[in-house]
Structures are given as C-alpha cells and as structure tokens.
Amino acid sequence: MATRRNSTDDPLAPVTLAVGQEDLLLDRAVQHVVAAARASDADTDVRDLTSDQLQPGTLAELTSPSLFAERKVVIVRNAQDLSADTVKDVKAYLTAPAEEITLVLLHAGGAKGKGLLDAVRKAGAREVACPKTTKPAERLTFVRSEFRTLGRSATAEACQALVDSIGSDLRELASAVSQLAADVEGTIDEAVVGRYYTGRAEASSFTVADRAVEGRAAEALEALRWSLSTGVAPVLITSALAQGVRAIGKLSSARGGRPADLARELGMPPWKIDRVRQQMRGWTPDGVSAALRAVAVADAGVKGGGDDPEYALEKAVVAIARAARSGGR
C-alpha cells in the first residue's frame, strides 16, 4: 500500500477498515471519514455501497482517475459478504490505492470473509474497532465517554441510572445522552435522569411499548404524548416499541421452560420473561409481523422520512395495539 496519509489516526488514510457488529460505531467510523474528507474538499463525492452493489469491476470504475482530481470516499458495507471475484479486485486495489480516494470497508469480523480481512490488515489499513457491547460495564463506559465527548459532566450515579433505564442499545444511549446534554444545564445527576426516563412511569419509552403490546391503545397513546412532551427522543420510543414486539416474537417461538432457562436461551433477564409471558396473550405470528412493519415505518418517519414524527409514532402505537388484540388482522 502506498505510504500516502497512512497514519492509524488519519481518517484520510488510503483505506479504513471498520471491524465489528455495533451499528452505531460502524456508522460513526464512516461519518468520521466523510467529515474529514469534506473538511478537506467540500465537493467530496461519497459512494456508499452494500456488498451486493460492489460487483466485479465496480471498484475499478469508482477509483479510476478523474479529470478534475476530485476527492472521493468509497464505502463498502458488509465486506465479509463480497463475492470471490470482487475480493480479488479489492486485494489488487490495496497494492496501489488511488490518490484523493479513501476506501472504507465495513467488516463484521469472524470467520466469514477472513481472507479479505487478513489482506486488508496486512496492507496496513487504518483500523477502527466497532465491537458489540455485551457487558453492562462496557455500556457504562460508553455513556461516560459520550458525556465527555459532549463536554458535559455527569455523576457516576446518573450514568448508571441511564444505562438501567435505557438498556443495551448504544444508539438509544447515545441519543439519551445527547438529549440530556442539550436540555440540562450544569452537572447531570441521577435526579435529572430520573425526571427524564424513570421519575414517572408515563415518561418512559418502555411504558409506551408495554401498553402498546398489551393492546391498551388509549393508555399507550397517553404515555406517548407525555413522553414526547417531557423531551423523550422519538427514536428512543421506536426502539422501545421494536424491543417490545421482538420480545413477544422471541418468546412465542421459544420452547417452554422455566424463566431462568428461557432467559439464558433468549438473552433476557428472568423477570422480563414473566412480564412478556403476560403480554403475549392474544398475539399471533401474523400479529408480530404486522407490528414489526408498523415499527419500521415509524422508525423511518422519525428519522427524517416523514413530516410529523409524532403522528408516525401514534400510528405505530395504534397498529401494535391492534395487532396485540387481533393478530394483525
């Protein structure tokens, strides 16, 4: 690989390899490179491709010399799924990367596509680790880091309370930290977190989800409106709705057994098994499918795909409650 800008700290190194399965960290690795490229050249051309879009010969076309010598960022997602012929193209490119072009490869790690992973590492690519967080301590460290990055001070108790309230989704945790940092002055303490996320049941995104999957549409809508009025980010609510519906689906398709056994099998705490068992009465596979579709539509709506995030959430809540009662019919 050429020696041009190949520092491990340089986002404009010829090749960046983001390895892992944590979507938020993978997205941030991409955003960091794109931001650096556009800071260098506001007209940077960004091409964001999935593995199936990068066919044999496509990389050569994207990285061919330009008459205008424009800067370009080429992003390849799920690089572990590239075809054998396309992997050959990537390996060939590594020997002589093009000037003014940054290639970003997102790879899940693991055995699949290991040949490409090894080749990119051997070529000296800048590597960004994006591991899935599986331990509470890792999520706590993440929350503390988010506050520091935003230049805000949060007590240890506040960070722990936020992890306890939000759960394991890093995207949700990051959104919650951002919301608190934007809305609250001074040091963020446990009382502040409680006021936003755990102080009143109505203000919790998980309460919205619980009432919806129980088929209690009116109560779910009331909880939704209160949550939005107290500053809960819409993305947190869609995520909670998704988690609630997926939990119904997981438990309904699991083998019978004690809560402790099911907890290990499904990755849920035993207390949640008991709660979901109570919530899943009346649900059918068709109902779960219909509810997940409703959540997907709402998620797109709150992330810029619609004009009214609140309306998108209301539609999802009603659809989920209906699915809970009628199996999605």
- Run means of pLDDT, 10 residues per run, the chain, 329 residues: 50 95 92 93 91 93 76 94 96 93 95 95 95 87 94 92 80 87 90 70 69 91 84 84 89 68 67 77 89 92 80 94 73
CATH superfamily name and code, 13-128: P-loop containing nucleotide triphosphate hydrolases (3.40.50.300)
Domain 203-322 CATH class label: mainly alpha
What's the CA gap between 263 and 260, in Å, rounded?
5
Residue 278 confidence (pLDDT)? 82
Sign of the dihedral defined by the CA atoms of residues 313, 319, 324, 327, in that order:
negative
Sequence ranges of the domains in the chain: 13-128, 134-195, 203-322
What's the CA gap between 261 and 137, in Å, rounded?
24
CATH of domain 134-195: 1.10.8
Contact 188, 147 (CB under 8 A): yes
What's the CA gap between 1 and 252, in Å, rounded?
52
Residue 268 confidence (pLDDT)? 65
Beta carbons within 10 angstroms of residue 240's beta carbon: 25
102: helix, coil or strand?
Answer: strand
Residue 206 confidence (pLDDT)? 80
Tell me phi and psi for residue 234, to 5 degrees. Answer: -55, -35
26: helix, coil or strand?
Answer: helix
What's the CA gap between 7 and 116, in Å, rounded?
21
- Reported in sequence order, the residue ranges of the chain that DSSP labels E, i.e. its strands, are 15-20, 45-49, 72-76, 101-107, 126-130
pTM, whole model, 2 decimals? 0.59
